[in-house]
Structure 1
């Protein structure tokens, strides 16, 4: 299991930009260059390049587009997260449920849309570095809409296992040790599970587990 590393206090958040449109990467790079607490350490135009750049630079956060030629963002996200290389924050134009769930299932810990305010992108990167899971309101509504009127929430076996340990009061590091996975993978499962069951934090998740007898 790859060892978790933490950004030293005061060090900038290292980011890799992944998008097949050079003009978008340039705009994002200019946006991030204007702040002192975030540093772009690499760029990629598709999933294959993203994995290579992430392996070489070991960023804290990967800002990932979804639709790209060759390997798409969902596949790249899964490989990056499964290898414990970095946290992935999706930045895309798509807000349909299928893509959102696909990205979260792959291990993304946040989901932003390209029409977001620039400050929201900056805040999203900072939130991911703090261990939070920023999701654009429109994406969140799409997830909630699919659950409206239905009590049949489909969790993966691992999501259910992680939620059960959250109910037992275990922290992410303890869950990671118990299951033999990285803390990043635990966070990814929690982000996906929270979105599926419609909760915003661990306390609400624990109550949901109690009510549903998971």
Structure 2
């Protein structure tokens, strides 16, 4: 199965470089490149790719609004491109529906891996990104959502809470299975239950929820 991708970044060298790397893969097809958020939304709606790579900061329409416009039940999955240190809106992008984040200096193999992971329906929450990113931006979550999800945690079983905790720490299903001494199939069931009970879209939102509700502290002892 070929993974169909749209790449959007206002920096031509970054955009064309990512497109070249992805287009060289036998299982990935780059359908279009876009130089701003409006072009990205137009390309996604016209071509219906599986994954859109969106720069957080773009002219005309920023990456957050573009992400919000193209994701959803009938939309594609989005990976945000960021320089991290200078971006102030990553938290908002997560809530807009992003399935993962990549730094613009990402290695070639990691870029390809990320697209494949997200296209398969999973999310990219690598510990190296998740801890620094979520810790900074969950310091000011909307109060109503924070309270509501904290109450919903009561609906989780002990094992589901453990699973959410491991998700927040960036563990893969295989790593969670090893930690809980269960099968990967059982972990997938737990993850599905967590997402369903908490009304979450994917693993990225599960990480946000874990920090928002205080299940995981941004500043561990």
Contact map agreement 2:100 2:124 (CA 8 A) in 1: yes
- Please say if 1:193 is aligned against 2:206: yes
The 5 Å alignment of 1:89-100 reads 89-95=79-85, 98-100=88-90
Deviation string, structure 1 residues 144-183 (Cα, Å, up to 9, x no partner)? 54499x8x9967379839x7699376838x949xx7xxxx
Q: Structure 1's 73 and 100: CA in aligned 2 closer, same or farther, altered over 3 A?
A: same
Instruction: Name the residue aligned to 1:171.
Output: 192
Deviation at 1:98, TM superposition (A): 3.9
Counterparts of residues 79-118 of structure 1 (less than 5 Å): 79-82=69-72, 84-95=74-85, 98-118=88-108
Classify 1:166/1:133 alpha carbon distance in 2 versus 1 (closer, same or farther; 3 Å): farther
SS where residue 208 of structure 2 aligns?
Answer: helix
Deviation at 1:38, TM superposition (A): 0.9
Partner residue, 1:66: 56
Aligned residues: 180
Cα distance, 1:140 vs structure 2: 1.6
Structure 2: runs of 5+ lacking an equivalent: 158-189, 217-221
Provide the rounded CA distance (Å) in 2 between the counterparts of 1:187 and 1:57.
23
Post-superposition shift, 1:43? 1.5
Partners of 2:191 and 2:106 in 1: how far apart? 34
Alignment pair present for 1:156 and 2:177 = no
Structure 1 residues 176-203: Cα deviation after superposition (integer angstroms, max 9, x where no partner): 9xx7xxxxxx535x412313525xxxxx
Do the aligned partners of 1:110 and 1:128 also contact (CA within 8 Å) in 2? yes
Shift of residue 97, structure 1, vs aligned partner: 7.7
Q: Which of 117, 128, 133 lines up with 2:123 in the alignment?
A: 133
Runs of 4+, deviation exceeding 3 Å? 95-98, 135-138, 143-148, 152-155, 163-172
Query: Residues 153, 78 of structure 1: CA spacing in aligned structure 2 closer, same or farther, 3 A cutoff?
Result: closer
What is the RMSD of the two structures over their aligned residues, measured on CA atoms? Answer: 3.7
C-alpha distance in structure 2 between counterparts of 1:87 and 1:48, whole Å? 17
What's the TM-score, normalizing by structure 2? Answer: 0.66
CA distance in 1, matches of 2:154, 2:53: 29
Q: TM-score, normalised by structure 1?
A: 0.68
Once residues 26 and 148 of structure 2 are traced to their aligned partners in structure 1, the CA distance between those partners, rounded to angstroms, is 36
What is the DSSP-based 3-state SS (H/G/I as helix, E as strand, rest coil) of the residue aligned with 1:156?
helix
State how far apart, in whole Å, the 1-side matches of 2:121 and 2:155 are: 15
Change (3 A) 1:66 1:157: same
Cα distance in 2 for residues equivalent to 1:29 and 1:97: 23
